[in-house]
Every structure is written in C-alpha cells, then in structure tokens.
C-alpha cells in the first residue's frame, strides 16, 4: 500500500522529511520494542500505558512516520513525520481496512461463544490444501489483533481467516467494519460472557454483528437447530445463509450440509468424501463441518489427499502423555457449553483415541489401556447471576456421565455448589489452587487413566501440568 492512501485519508503528515506519496508503506508496528527502520509507528493508548511516550525512540530507530493522537502532538520529536488523528486505535483499524481493500483474497470471519479458535484453525487447514492462507495468530481476535491480522496478509495468500472475540455489544460490529468479510462463520450461541451481556438473546445479537460489514453477496455459515440464532441473524442479515448439521442430531431437515460422524473410526463423511477427524468429539466434528462448508462455498474445497494439520494455541484441545496417563489440556478458557462438550468427550473416550504428536515423559513403548476418567474443573468466569446455576449444571453432568472422580478448583460459592451437585461420584475433592488440585489428583491416578483439565483463563489451571509431569513422569510428588 502506498503512502498516498494515508495522505488521501489523513492529509499530508506534519514535520519530518517530505514523504514520497508513491513510497510503499513500511511495516506497521504498535510495539516500540519491535520497531525496525522504516516502520510506521502507531502508538496506542491503554489504561496503564501510552505508546506516545516512545515517539522519540521511534524516531531514533528510524521509523518511516507515525500516527499520533492530536492531544499528544506535542510529544512528536523533530524529524519524525506524523499524521495527526483523533484516536490511534481507530486509525490503526482504518489502516487494516485500507490494506484489506487491496487484498484480492477473500476474508473469512469467525466468531462464536465456544470453538471459534478451533474452527479458525480447522478453516485455515482446510483452505491451506488449496494454497497459502493467513489466519489470526494466538489470541489476536480483538480491536488490536484483527487489524494486525489484516496488515500481515500479503498478495500471496489465497484467503485470510480472521477470528473475532467480544466482551460486549458493539465490539464485533467494529471488527466487522474493520475487515469487511466475504464470508462469516458463527459456531454457536452459548453463555460465555453472559454476566456482561445479561442473556443469550443479547449474546446472539452480539455474535450476529459479524454481518455488519459483510459483503452484500456474502454468506453466513451456522449450525442448524438454534432458533435463537436463526431469529437474531434474520433480524440483521437478509443475504445467504448456509446451515450444517451432524446426522442423528435431529436437525438434518433444516441443514444444507449434513455430515455423518463415525466416532469409532474418527471420521466425518460429507458428500461421499471421508475426512479423518483431526480432533475427537462431536463438537469438533461440527466445527469441521462448518469449515468444510465455508471452504466449499468459496470454491476452495478440501483436497482429501492432503491431511489436515492443526496448530492450536496452548491449552486448547491439547493431548499430552504424562507417563501412562493421558491428559486433555483445556486450560486456556472455559464456558459452560465448552466444558460440557469436553466432559462428554472425556466420558466417551475409547482405546485408540488420537495421541499427541510430541509425547511427554514416559511415552515410549506400548500404549497403555484406556482406564478411568477424571476431571479437574475450575471456575467459569463472567457468568453473572447465572453463575451458580451453570456451575451446578456442569457438576451434574459430570455425575451423570459416571466419571471416576472430580477435582473442583474454587474457593467461592461456585465450588460449593459444584461439590454438592457432584455428590455420589466415587472420588470428589474441593481445593482452592491448581497446585492443590495436582496433589489431590495424583493420589487417585493409576496407569491408563485419562484426565481433563478445564477452567477459565483467570484460574491459571495450567500451573498443575508441570506438577503432574514431575509426579507422574519422574516420580516426584507435587507440592501444594
């Protein structure tokens, strides 16, 4: 993108050497620690930081120019060209949009209460069988991450996949206007962040904001069978909608795409094509079906001869072998729907389930038999007035599924409610820290057992993993 596009939007920059409008825009950088000569510096302002304090450093490092908030114009050093804007975050998002409009590749946006990162990676993997794809990295699904994803895409990419998260109304609308997607995927409408939004209806409204700047000829791909999602989407989008369902769920008549899940063989069959599941579980099969339908609608269907390769961020659907124990690491975050799905997956595990690509300590030799199932569950945050009821529901499901034991990590009323609801399980422990959870769990485990770890990010349940590694792989007991 040439600097002339910025000049058209914000006029000529102030100060510094004259810039050639035909010059190409340098790498856009919001972190002064990553600045390189020729970068365009965009200093962002947060509650506890102000990037404008690093404008002098940007000039010293040879920045091409900077976008600067008008109320901080006095911080611009001599010799640094600067465009003055009202808000640098809004300007950063406009930069992303300007670059997006120069990309020939379609932009696909993904949101949902649960499974959006997994679906993003499934979609990237499916599309990648047809050519290079750029997708959001890690947790880049917010006001800063979405324009960053767009600005990192190049003309070599056949598609761009953008994940969109939210914590309240209006956020996804803003992100949609930043990237003007050609296609949108909504994985589901659940109860994550219900404490902030108040109801599933408000959550559905927020998720459907993804259509705010969807191209008029665009497409929305959703799961069939959710009347609330259907109504919310119809209220804001009159264009094409494609629905998917798994056979046997009861929503086949409402779906445009129906997939047949074979849990024993870990395959999904769609239109006569058999696709191995890269991740186990019906919820992941449904996410894969969303990805397959989206890719096919863009005439970029899966090449069945190329295996799907996923690179999920840590703490999401990660399987580890700790000695003879198999661990499902879901510690990154938790919503009620995602936790229920993970519990169902744990309870339905069978011998021969997928093993980790990089084994942990003690993984050499024959695979152990699948033994008992244990779950370690921490608090699910931001559920507001419904928190106690939703935590009770999760514990009741653990009991109904017949798990062999449950460790609850919570020092508040949610933990007490879960402990009461799970009475009747063979083993039950209520602790207040991940370290104590590891200590309780190790006392129960035997060769071949399986363990699920699931909690909201704030619980930091991943702290239990190295303790379990030491206890189960090297024979050293964890310290609470």
Q: What is the pLDDT of residues 285-327, one digit of tens each?
A: 999 999 999 999 999 988 888 888 887 878 888 888 888 899 9
E strand intervals along 117-182: 133-135, 159-163
Same domain, 155 and 221: yes
Last residue of a domain, one of 64, 91, 118: 91
Same domain, 354 and 458: yes
Please state the separation of Cα 258 from the chain's center in Å: 24
Same domain, 462 and 351: yes
- Paired tokens of 29: 């950088």
- Paired tokens of 111: 């949101």
Alpha carbon distance 361, 324 (integer Å): 9
Confidence of residue 473 (pLDDT cuts 50, 70, 90): low
Last residue of a domain, one of 91, 124, 156: 91
Last residue of a domain, one of 297, 330, 362: 297
Residue 429 lies in a domain: yes
Same domain, 173 and 42: no
**Considering its fold, how many domains does the chain have in total?**
3
Same domain, 31 and 169: no
Q: For residue 341, which of 362, 324, 317 has the smallest C-alpha distance?
A: 317
Residue 305 lies in a domain: no
Residue 306 lies in a domain: no
The whole-chain average pLDDT of the chain stands at 91
Same domain, 271 and 126: yes
Residue 312 lies in a domain: no
Same domain, 456 and 326: yes
Q: For residue 178, which of 189, 170, 169, 168 has the smallest C-alpha distance?
A: 170
User: Each residue of 414-451: pLDDT tens digit?
Assistant: 999 999 999 999 999 999 999 999 999 999 999 999 99
Residue 303 lies in a domain: no
Q: Domain residues for 225?
A: 103-297
Confidence of residue 167 (pLDDT cuts 50, 70, 90): confident
Same domain, 60 and 162: no
pTM of model > 0.95? no
Same domain, 253 and 347: no
Same domain, 228 and 115: yes
Same domain, 266 and 360: no
Residue 308 lies in a domain: no
Residue 97 lies in a domain: no
Same domain, 278 and 427: no
């Amino acid at each position: 993108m040439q600097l002339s596009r910025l000049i058209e939007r914000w006029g000529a920059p102030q100060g510094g050497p004259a810039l050639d409008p035909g010059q190409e825009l340098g790498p856009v950088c919001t972190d002064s620690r990553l600045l390189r000569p020729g970068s365009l510096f965009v200093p962002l302002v947060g509650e506890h930081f102000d990037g404008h304090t690093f404008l002098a450093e940007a000039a010293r490092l040879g920045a091409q120019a900077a976008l600067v908030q008008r109320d901080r114009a006095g911080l611009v050093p001599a010799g640094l060209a600067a465009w003055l804007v009202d808000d640098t975050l809004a300007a950063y998002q406009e930069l992303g949009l300007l670059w997006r409009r120069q990309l020939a590749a379609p932009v696909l946006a993904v949101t949902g209460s649960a499974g959006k990162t997994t679906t993003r990676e499934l979609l990237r993997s499916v599309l990648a069988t047809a050519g290079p794809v750029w997708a959001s990295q890690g947790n880049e699904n917010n006001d800063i991450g979405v324009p960053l994803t767009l600005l990192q895409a190049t003309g070599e990419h056949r598609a761009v996949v953008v994940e969109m998260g939210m914590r309240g109304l209006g956020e996804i609308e803003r992100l949609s206007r930043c990237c003007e997607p050609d296609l949108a995927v909504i994985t589901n409408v659940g109860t994550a962040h219900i404490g902030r939004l108040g109801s599933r209806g408000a959550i559905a409204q927020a998720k459907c904001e993804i259509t705010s700047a969807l191209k008029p000829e665009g497409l929305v791909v959703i799961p069939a069978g959710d009347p609330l999602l259907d109504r919310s989407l119809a209220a804001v989008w009159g264009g094409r909608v494609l629905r998917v369902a798994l056979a046997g769920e009861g929503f086949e008549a409402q779906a445009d795409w129906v997939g047949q899940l074979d849990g024993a063989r870990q395959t999904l069959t769609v239109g006569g094509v058999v696709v191995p599941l890269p991740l186990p579980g019906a919820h992941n099969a449904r996410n894969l079906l969303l990805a397959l339908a989206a890719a096919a609608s863009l005439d970029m269907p899966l090449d069945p001869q190329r295996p799907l390769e996923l690179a999920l961020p840590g703490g999401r659907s990660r399987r580890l072998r700790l000695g003879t124990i198999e661990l499902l690491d879901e510690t990154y975050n938790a919503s009620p729907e995602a936790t229920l799905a993970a519990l169902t997956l744990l309870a339905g595990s069978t011998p021969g389930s997928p093993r980790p690509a990089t084994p942990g300590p003690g993984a050499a030799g024959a695979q152990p038999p699948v033994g008992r199932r244990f779950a370690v569950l921490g608090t699910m945050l931001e559920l507001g007035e419904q928190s106690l009821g939703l935590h009770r529901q999760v514990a009741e499901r653990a009991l109904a599924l017949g798990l062999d034991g449950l460790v609850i990590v919570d020092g508040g009323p949610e933990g007490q409610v879960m402990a009461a609801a799970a009475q009747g399980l063979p083993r039950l422990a209520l602790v207040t820290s991940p370290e104590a959870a590891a200590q309780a769990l190790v006392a129960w485990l035997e060769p071949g057992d399986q363990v699920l770890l699931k909690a909201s990010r704030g619980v930091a349940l991943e702290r239990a993993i190295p303790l379990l590694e030491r206890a189960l792989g090297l024979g050293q007991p964890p310290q609470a």
